[in-house]
Chains A and B, each alone.
Chain A
Amino acid sequence: MSARLLRVFCLLSCILSAVAALAQEGHPAKGTWVGYWGPTATENRLVIVMDYDNKNVTGTVNPGANAIPIKTARLDITPGKPAPKPGDPVGEPTFKVHIEADAKDAKGNPITIVADGTMQEVGLPIRSIAGTWTQTSGGKTVKGEFKIRRQ
């Protein structure tokens, strides 16, 4: 692919991602999420696009060239406990996100990715997910934090 075509492709990918991010109130995981993962805060750029196909959360990590399809993704919502009566304090809800993906590094070696995070500010269109990102390649595991924000 020529550099010009690649630029056009990247531009189109960005536009499509932005359009997908316009939705705000459907499935909470749906949208384009941007952030970083790594032992240091800004080590590895992340763009994760997630959707919901009426049964499962689907999506892609870093769409475009060398995109990584998401193998498994889940959103587990705990609405909060205990059941409140008027005046009771609201139980803390949790929105847990689990993502698994298989990829290959530049040499073609397999990489396994597992991310477990918690969705925060779920009522906002620009909600975020933060947690632990674990990447295993060639028997070596690298663990770090990740934080992505919905665009």
Chain B
Amino acid sequence: MSRTVPGWLAGGVGLLLAVAPVLAHHNITGKFDPSKTRTLRGVVTKLDWANPHVHILMDVVNGKIVTNWAVELESTLDLERSGWNLNTLKPGDEITVQGMTARNGTSQIWGDSVALTGTGRRVLNVSEAARAALLPATNLPSRPTPRWPDGKPRLGPPPGEKGYWGRPSSTVLMETGANVQMNAHGLLRNIADVDKVAPFQRWARDLYEYRQRSFLKDDPLFVYCKPPGALRLFQMTYGVQFLEDKNFGRIFLVEGGGNHIWHFIYTDGRPQTGEVRGNADNPLYYGNARGKWEGDTFVVDSKMFNEKFWFSNGGLPHTEQLHLIERFTRTDSNTLKYEVTINDPGAYTRQWSAGWTLQWVPEDLPAYYCQDNRP
């Protein structure tokens, strides 16, 4: 394991625990108000077992009025990792729910705690093991960087093994050296830090602040199931898999969340041209990407992105002029160092950089699908 790992591990875990009381794979405070908590007792009418969030529908009686509440929970993936399934609750079960209610005043609540009223047994909570699956592990045996016969590092698994890159040391974006605290979703702890995050143009800075003040509620990744385009691919909790196709000079990157969307990087030296706005097969959420090796570092030049997505957690704006230079260095079997240079003269006043690491997860890529038009 890299010498730097314990430092970022401790910092990352500490920050996550300090500012993210729930595990949610996106910022839920855009929809739910942490200052408006409530306890509900009622009867289950339906368990809706679907992504991106499981819902319990429950009838709550208040005098002569019966209100059907929607209790929102984590994804099926996190709940299944915690040992729950669609049979955990059935209609007619009496439950007690504690959590924060919706900002818009509708009968929706985030289920911080769901317990069977009769026994007090907590159900549909996220286990420590499920939480740990999203955080950097400390006990992975370290091995040298696996290599191809030509000596180049393997970005995917060695023959006969499986695995993907996940558990990012940082899930937020800010300029290297910036001293800014955010939660795991990129929400600033102090809104006065807006100007420290990146060298924004005025409109981009104000739009970023607006998105922050709105608790990221308009994030198209979650509102419309848009892909985590550009560098956001490497901030996602469900990881990314590299599939190296040496024969055809390309690398596929498959995302663990976001509907297993793939991003391909050509390494065959072809020119960086194409349909400027993409097409149905390649809508350019990941740009036109060309990669080459510089020693043990894989360098990817990407441009021609569309503007239909947020390119990072936290809502930093970008334009079609976004140009990324990404550098991937597998420093050992478990660690992928990610460095990115961001150049977007439409949204930023100058070029800037950021970086973090990803950790090898020796498992199959999670099967998580965001289902359109669902909260």
* Chain A residues within CB distance 8 Å of chain B: 19, 22-28, 30, 52, 54, 75, 77-80, 83-84, 86-88, 90-91, 93, 95, 122-124
Residues on the A chain within 8 Å of B309, using CB: 25
Pick the most buried of B35, B210, B321: most chain A CB atoms within 10 A of its CB. Answer: B210
Is B307 within 8 A of A91, CB to CB? no
Taking CB atoms, residues of chain B closer than 8 Å to A95 are 210
Question: How many Å lie between the Cα of A124 and that of B223 in the bound state?
Answer: 10
Whether the pair A26, B210 counts as a contact (CB closer than 8 A) is no
| Residue B220 lies at the interface, judged by CB distance under 8 Å to chain A | yes
CA distance A83 to B209 in the complex (A): 10
**A28 x B217 contact (CB < 8 A):** no
Asked if B18 is an interface residue, CB under 8 A from chain A, the answer is no
CA distance A95 to B214 in the complex (A): 14
Q: When A19-B277, A25-B220, A123-B217 are in contact, do A87 and B307 touch as well, CB less than 8 Å?
A: no
- With A25-B317, A54-B345 known to touch, is A83 a contact of B192 (CB < 8 Å)? yes
User: Interface size (B, Cβ < 8 Å)?
Assistant: 34
Bound together, the chains give a CA A32 to CA B346 distance in angstroms of 18
Task: Report 20 cross-chain contacts, Cβ distance below 8 Å, ordered by A residue.
Answer: A24-B308, A25-B220, A26-B317, A27-B319, A30-B307, A52-B203, A75-B203, A77-B203, A77-B207, A78-B206, A79-B212, A79-B213, A80-B210, A87-B33, A87-B34, A87-B35, A91-B213, A93-B213, A95-B210, A123-B223
B201, chain A: closest CB distance, angstroms: 8
A52-B319, A93-B214, A123-B217 known; A27 and B306 CB under 8 Å? no
The reply to whether the CB of B178 lies closer than 8 angstroms to some CB of chain A is no
Q: What 12 new A-B contacts, CB under 8 Å, besides A23-B306, A52-B203, A90-B215?
A: A22-B277, A23-B320, A24-B220, A25-B309, A25-B317, A26-B317, A54-B345, A78-B206, A79-B212, A84-B213, A86-B35, A122-B210
The verdict on B218 contacting chain A, using a C-beta distance below 8 Å, is yes
Chain A residues whose C-beta falls within 8 Å of the C-beta of B277 in the assembled complex: 19, 22
B310 adjacent to A27 (CB under 8 Å): no
**What are the residues of chain B within 8 A of A122 when measuring CB–CB?**
210, 218
- Least CB distance from A107 to B in Å reads 38
Point out the residues of chain B lying under 8 angstroms from A123, CB to CB: 214, 217-218, 223
A28-B203 in contact (CB<8A): yes
Q: How far is the CA of A123 from the CA of B210 in the complex (A)?
A: 10
- Contact partners of B318 in chain A: CB under 8 A: 25-26
Q: A27-B203, A79-B206 are in contact. Are A22 and B34 (CB under 8 A)?
A: no
Nearest B residue to A123, CB-CB:
B218
A25 B346 Cβ-Cβ under 8 A: no
Given A54-B345, A75-B203, A84-B213, CB of A25 within 8 Å of CB of B191 = no
- Flag whether B29 is at the interface (Cβ < 8 A): yes
Q: Which residues of A contact B201 (CB under 8 A)?
A: 54
> Assuming A77-B207, A80-B213, A90-B213, is B308 touching A52 (CB within 8 A)?
no
Residues of A within 8 A of B347 (CB): 26-27
Chain B hits for A86, CB < 8 A: 29, 34-35
- Chain B residues near A80 (CB, 8 Å)? 209-210, 213-214
